[in-house]
Amino acid sequence: MTMAQASIRSIAVRLLAWIGLIGLALLSWLPGDEMIRSGLDGRIEHVMAYAGISTLVALAYARRIGLKAVAALLILYAGMLEIGQIFAFGRHAALWDAFASGTGILIGTALHPLIRSGARRRRPLHHFLSSLTD
């Protein structure tokens, strides 16, 4: 991968992370009567949403600030969003939802080293194809 490709990938991951963080805020503070549910338990939705977003944030910022700092900041952010639901019409803050969000964050940040190590081991397709013809 060239430096330009790595830079573009890094920018794309950071952009997706920020879009996800903004999306979490919008969905968290959406009025209760406008919520669209997946059919899953709300806590499962929390775990899945926060696991996905925290994986992106970890990929974008763990090298810069450290994985523990990413997890801590995301847990604070999730707590802030949960408390903010007190002020959203038809919503309420729930401790179990906060725990579910935190669980998702821990899962997502735990995936970071696995994704990083997998990305380092992956070889480009042309290397694989050339090894078949040797």
pLDDT tens across 15-56, in order? Answer: 999 999 999 999 999 998 888 888 899 899 999 999 999 999
Does residue 2 lie in a domain region? no
Neighbours of 3 (CB within 10 A): 7
Residue 124 confidence (pLDDT): 58
Does residue 127 lie in a domain region? no
Does residue 132 lie in a domain region? no
For residues 1 and 88, the model is more confident at: 88
Neighbours of 46 (CB within 10 A): 26
Does residue 3 lie in a domain region? no
Does residue 99 lie in a domain region? yes
Does residue 56 lie in a domain region? yes
Q: Which domain holds residue 93?
A: 44-122
Does residue 4 lie in a domain region? no
Residue 107 CA to residue 52 CA, distance in Å, equals 9
Neighbours of 81 (CB within 10 A): 22
Q: What is the tally of structural domains in the chain? A: 1
Q: Which residues contact 17 (CB under 8 A, 6 or more apart)?
A: 53, 56, 57, 59, 60, 61
